Amino acid sequence: MIAEIIAVGSEMLTPHRQDTNSLYLTDGLNDLGVQVAFKTIVGDNLSHLTSAASIAIARADIVLFSGGLGPTEDDLTREAAAAALNIELHSNPAILTQLYKRFAARQMVMPPNNAKQADVLDGAILLENSNGSAPASSSTPLSSTPLASPSARSSSSSPAHPKS
């Protein structure tokens, strides 16, 4: 079984950030006996990300996206994965409720753009994220298993706790 990791974010293409998430994920996948055959870094561009996702789905058994699940306009992992898989996104009411509760617990009003984090791939299995607000998800088409996750850990070169 082979895997591909797609690290998402234009900041990852600058000299100011290192992609330590892929190293962390590779270590975990290798511990499970999964060989990481490809690593790709893609900026915040829907067309480029969709293309990278389509290529990865065609050549790897497991595709793991890291990043791009946040609430901002340039967080496009969900949209690209849906386009590459030719499936729709839908808003998950339970996740949306959790988001509102998360903000309320901090005595904050949730900005409207955070509702985007409740959008999930049709038929996806949701994976809880206890370290942030964006849930991970798994979708299993015939040829590959794409997984979209928030950043696995900090983008700095020093060890850090997982973040969204």
Q: d(Cα 128, Cα 150) in Å, to the nearest integer?
A: 11
pTM over 0.85: no
Q: What pLDDT score does 125 carry? A: 85
Contacts of 2 (CB under 8 A, 6+ apart): 34, 35, 36, 37, 38, 59, 60, 61, 62
Burial class from Cβ neighbours inside 10 Å (0-12, 13-18, 19+) for residue 16 reads exposed
Q: Is the pLDDT confidence value at 133 over 90?
A: no
At 98-115, the pLDDT tens digits run 999 999 999 999 999 999
How sure is the predictor about 162, in pLDDT bands with cuts at 50, 70 and 90? Answer: very low
The 3-state DSSP class for residue 57 equals helix
Residue type, 96: L
Lowest mean pLDDT among 12-16, 22-26, 118-122, 142-146: 142-146
The 3-state DSSP class for residue 76 equals coil
